[in-house]
Homo-oligomer: A and B are copies of this chain.
């Protein structure tokens, strides 16, 4: 899965996109924030705060773990990144819908993950909740299974 070809150009583009969002909301564009953003961009797997610290350290960059926690928390609030529920790691949001719904497919063999959005699905799920009087604001969902690559190999 994740056959996305992520060239340096594309990464730069997405990073710039996130930076604009930060700026627009009045947040400073600091070196640590750019570094965390870049680490998230360059890695497909979910990264825990300490994972990010390790990755950056290997590149000779040192960030205090407290700083990373605070940055990730900010990214999450701004919907620039989100936490993969089952593993606890952070990934950069690939898709952004207005409500902040996240749906992931996670391969239990290789760990690859892919994000998807589907309005109809959200609508259906919200209706079911509504039947119990529940007012849904957003959905988080993870489909666990096997990706096409791993399926072929078996």
Q: Among B88, B125, B145, B147, which residue has its beta carbon within 8 angstroms of that of A141?
A: B125
Q: When the two chains form the complex, which single residue of B118, B121, B138, B148 contacts A133, counting CB atoms closer than 8 Å? A: B148
Q: Are B134 and A143 in contact (CB under 8 A)?
A: yes
Tell whether A143 pairs with B151 under 8 Å between CB atoms, given A121-B121, A128-B118.
no
Q: Is the CB of A105 within 8 A of B126?
A: no
Contact string against B for A residues 35-68, beta-carbon threshold 8 Å, 1 for contact and 0 otherwise: 0000000000000000000000000000000000
Query: Copy number of this protein in the oligomer?
Result: 2
Q: Are the C-beta atoms of B128 and A137 separated by less than 8 Å?
A: no
Tell me whether B142 and A139 are in contact (CB under 8 A). yes
The answer for the CA separation of A50 and B147 in the assembled complex, in Å, is: 35
CB distance from A73 to the nearest CB of B (A): 15
Whether A132 is near chain B, meaning CB under 8 Å from some CB there, is: yes
Instruction: Contacts A85-B140, A140-B85 given; indicate if A125 touches B121 (C-beta within 8 A).
Output: yes
- For the side of the interface on A, what is the size category? 35 or more
Q: How far is the CA of A146 from the CA of B146 in the complex (A)?
A: 34
Is A23 interfacial (CB 8 A cutoff)? no
Residue A1 at the chain B interface, CB threshold 8 Å: yes
CB closest chain-B residue, reference A133: B148
A134 to B88, CA, bound (A): 22
Find chain B residues with CB under 8 A from A140 CB. Answer: 85-86, 141-142, 144
Partner of A85, one of B86, B114, B135: B86
Select from chain B the residue with minimum beta-carbon distance to A142.
Answer: B140
A136 within 8 A of B: yes
